[in-house]
């Protein structure tokens, strides 16, 4: 009885704080009682199995709600996009995280002191990527590209947009036949395959994921490109040699903010004189490199990307310069990644029955909300995605193109 009174107080307080918001949410209690927070039909239902679970609704944050759902303390039913939108509305209503990200920044400050050793980075990568290749194939495009797509007109399907993204990158670095290309964080090999097949490059792709390396090698062999592509299970810190072109797509988020200077210095060392590199990666929009609001960053750090850290664009550019790289071109693809994640979410939900057979219930719930949460964060300018083209500092000015026209030829 006492807990139900508290829940009623929470309901009244929420409506008082959000008088203009119609929240299509239904809360179902363990005794069969239903509480609707809108006169409209509910789009999301939260089922509370017992009084102890009420605490997640009294002081909601994206972390507490996400953790409760993932750990099975509450049941949540609805489309992932609706779940995330309502979760954000609940958190914004005055939960413990609130719009003030100081708590998140403290967590990030602690995160900056993480030790990004070869072993810890390898374990973090394998936690995220070695779920199974079948798991990722169930919701990615046929090329298995797990990074922001490029929607030139906005109406492309996912597969087309992913090919356009790879071509966009390879044109930006002005890749030419016979040149050597290092792809740091090569995933399942899609970029290396395209670079060799269409652009005639000689490629080395590196990853820390055993599953990715195995499938990438199979795809290279199937394409008959073993003489042009080598896939290595290797840390970027252990690569030797010089490469005329270097790409890093969706990888530097794992490096650690404090290690960005060293990371870009390593890229500069591996880049041949006159070479061109591109870093394509997610950034925070908080200028202090802080967490996303309402505990979203904390949830991702714990359940999705252990050891992952996001830097602001300004921090990235400075680290590049300090590491010996000159920034030559910057493009914001935030809208593209919001759409990419929305399409991944649709694919995930359309294939939910099959995906449930590929992983355990907890991991299914993690990914159910993670992909939609990313789409929401990109759409609302909490995180962004930048492609940054760079070369060695001090390069001859004649190596710089007069315009960006060559990228779109």
CB distance 162 to 144 below 8 Å:
no
CA distance 349 to 140: 12
Catalytic-residue membership of 374: yes
Q: How far apart are CA 324 and CA 193, in angstroms?
A: 29
For the chain, the maximum distance between any two Cα atoms, rounded to a whole number of angstroms, is: 77
Q: How far apart are CA 351 and CA 291, in angstroms?
A: 31
Quote the Cα angle for 179-320-161, to 5°: 55
Residue 180's H or E segment, with its range, is strand 180-184
Rounded to whole angstroms, the Cα distance separating 26 from 28 reads 6
Q: Closest by alpha carbon to 220, among 248, 180, 177, 191?
A: 191
* Residue that the structure tokens 């073993």 belong to: 226
CA distance 116 to 257: 10
Contact 249, 277 (CB under 8 A): no
* 370-398 burial: b if 16+ Cβ within 10 Å, else e: bbbbbbbbbbeebbbbbbbbbbbeeeeee
Contact 385, 378 (CB under 8 A): yes
Strands 25-28 and 34-36: antiparallel
54 to each of 60, 73, 185, 215, how far by Cα in Å?
10, 10, 42, 45
Residue pointed to by tokens 């002191």:
113
CB-CB contact of 204 with 179 (8 Å): no
Catalytic residue among 148, 203, 341, 374: 374
Catalytic residue list: 374
């Amino acid at each position: 009885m006492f807990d139900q009174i508290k829940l009623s107080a929470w309901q009244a307080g929420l409506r008082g704080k959000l008088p203009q918001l119609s929240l299509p949410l239904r809360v179902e209690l363990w005794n069969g009682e239903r509480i609707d927070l809108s006169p409209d039909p509910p789009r999301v239902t939260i089922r509370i199995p017992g009084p102890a679970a009420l605490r997640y609704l009294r002081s909601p944050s994206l972390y507490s709600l996400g953790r409760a759902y993932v750990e099975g303390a509450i049941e949540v039913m609805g489309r992932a996009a609706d779940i995330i939108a309502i979760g954000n509305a609940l958190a914004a209503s005055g939960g413990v995280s609130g719009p003030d990200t100081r708590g998140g920044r403290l967590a990030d400050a602690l995160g900056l002191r993480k030790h990004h050793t070869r072993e810890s980075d390898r374990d973090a990568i394998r936690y995220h990527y070695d779920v199974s290749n079948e798991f990722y194939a169930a919701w990615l495009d046929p090329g298995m590209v797990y990074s922001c797509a490029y929607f030139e007109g906005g109406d492309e399907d996912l597969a087309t947009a992913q090919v356009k993204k790879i071509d966009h990158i390879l044109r930006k670095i002005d890749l030419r036949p016979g040149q050597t290309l290092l792809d740091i964080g090569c995933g399942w090999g899609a970029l290396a395959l395209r670079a060799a097949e269409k652009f005639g490059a000689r490629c080395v792709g590196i990853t820390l994921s055993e599953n990715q390396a195995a499938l990438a090698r199979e795809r290279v062999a199937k394409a008959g490109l073993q003489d042009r592509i080598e896939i290595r299970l290797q840390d970027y810190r252990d690569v030797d040699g010089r490469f005329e072109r270097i790409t890093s797509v969706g990888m530097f988020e794992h490096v650690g903010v404090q290690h960005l200077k060293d990371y870009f210095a390593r890229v500069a060392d591996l880049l041949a004189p006159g070479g061109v590199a591109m870093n394509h990666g997610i950034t925070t929009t908080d200028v202090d490199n802080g967490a996303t609001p309402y505990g979203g960053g904390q949830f991702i750090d714990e359940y999705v990307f252990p050891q992952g850290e996001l830097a602001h664009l300004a921090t990235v550019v400075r680290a590049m310069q300090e590491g010996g790289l000159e920034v030559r071109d910057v493009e914001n693809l935030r809208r593209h990644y919001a759409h990419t994640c929305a399409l991944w979410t649709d694919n995930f939900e359309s294939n939910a029955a099959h995906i449930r057979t590929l992983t355990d219930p907890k991991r299914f719930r993690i990914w159910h909300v993670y992909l939609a949460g990313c789409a929401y964060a990109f759409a609302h300018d909490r995180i962004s995605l930048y492609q940054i083209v760079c070369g060695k500092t001090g390069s001859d000015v004649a190596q710089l193109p007069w315009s960006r026209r060559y990228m779109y030829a």
